[in-house]
Amino acid sequence: MVVNTIVNRHVYKLPVDIRKICEAYGAHWLTFTEFGQTAAEVIGNNDGAAVDLPGGKWGIVYNEKIAANRLRFTLAEELMHYLIGHSKDEDFVFWRQSYTPETYRLYEAEAKRAAGMILVPPTIYYKYRKVYGTDQIAKLCGVSEPCVYTVAKFYEEHEEEIRAAFTRKTILCDTRGLIRKHPLRPRAVVGESL
């Protein structure tokens, strides 16, 4: 599992420094502004794309104007397209993506699931889901609530296999400031005031 390799290779602290991880795998950066005004039209979306560059290098063309949480997810997703090998598919070349709709859905699903696992590691989700809920996990991991909701759905559907396969490496996180789903409060006895 590519995600296990990433988690085990890096000091893992939430929120994940996705730029640092991308750079560790050799990513070069190019904003839409640097690329040109037609970047979104060329790559077919408003977020970003993994691109193979001359000399065996690779990079991420990205929209620097999207929200920070969305950008973090985009960078993670494009890293996964590269590491899984989608960008090596001749039909995936970002300026002439010509794969079938089925291939597109498969590549996107694989990259999005893996990106979610990088930014919201399963061990964190399973540990804190009942204590804090998805809104607070989003805050802890530095992603949007829709991102955590999508990740949570995948984690819930595949919990047994994910728990069996995912690393047990300690992931550092600071839960101070998170709001519990059910705050611990002393119970009042009838007739007593708190």
> pLDDT tens-digit profile of 37-74?
565 565 667 788 888 788 988 889 888 888 999 899 99
Mean pLDDT for the chain overall: 85
Classify residue 45 by burial, with Cβ atoms within 10 Å: 0-12, 13-18, 19+: middle
* E strand or H helix that includes residue 186: none
Q: What are phi and psi of 133, to 5 degrees?
A: 85, 170
Among 89-98, 126-135, 173-182, the least confident range = 89-98
Handedness of CA 129, 131, 135, 136 (dihedral sign): negative
The verdict on residue 30 lying in a domain is yes
SS percent in the chain: helix, strand, coil, step 5: 55, 10, 35
- Who has greater pLDDT, 78 or 93? 78
User: 3-class DSSP state for residue 59?
Assistant: strand
**Number of residues written out for the chain:** 194
CB atoms within 10 A of CB 126: 15
The verdict on residue 183 lying in a domain is no
53: β partners:
57
* E strand or H helix that includes residue 48: strand 48-53
- Who has greater pLDDT, 95 or 123? 123
192 pLDDT band, cuts 50/70/90, is very low
* E strand or H helix that includes residue 155: helix 145-157
> pLDDT tens-digit profile of 121-164?
999 999 999 999 999 999 999 999 999 999 999 999 999 999 99
Q: What is the mean predicted confidence (pLDDT) over 20-38?
A: 86
The verdict on residue 114 lying in a domain is yes
Closest CA to 136 of 100, 180, 187, 106: 180
The verdict on residue 177 lying in a domain is no
* Res 35: pLDDT: 77
The verdict on residue 44 lying in a domain is yes
The verdict on residue 4 lying in a domain is no
Handedness of CA 170, 174, 179, 182 (dihedral sign): positive
Closest CA to 133 of 166, 171, 175, 180: 180
Distance CA 115, CA 113 (A): 5
The verdict on residue 110 lying in a domain is yes
pLDDT at 21 over 80: yes
pLDDT at 79 over 90: yes
Distance CA 91, CA 161 (A): 31
* Res 191: pLDDT: 47
- Who has greater pLDDT, 76 or 1? 76
Tell me the pTM: 0.85
Percent of the chain predicted with pLDDT > 90? 53
Q: Supply the range of the domain harboring residue 140.
A: 12-165
The verdict on residue 130 lying in a domain is yes
pLDDT at 20 over 80: yes
Total count of domains within the chain? 1
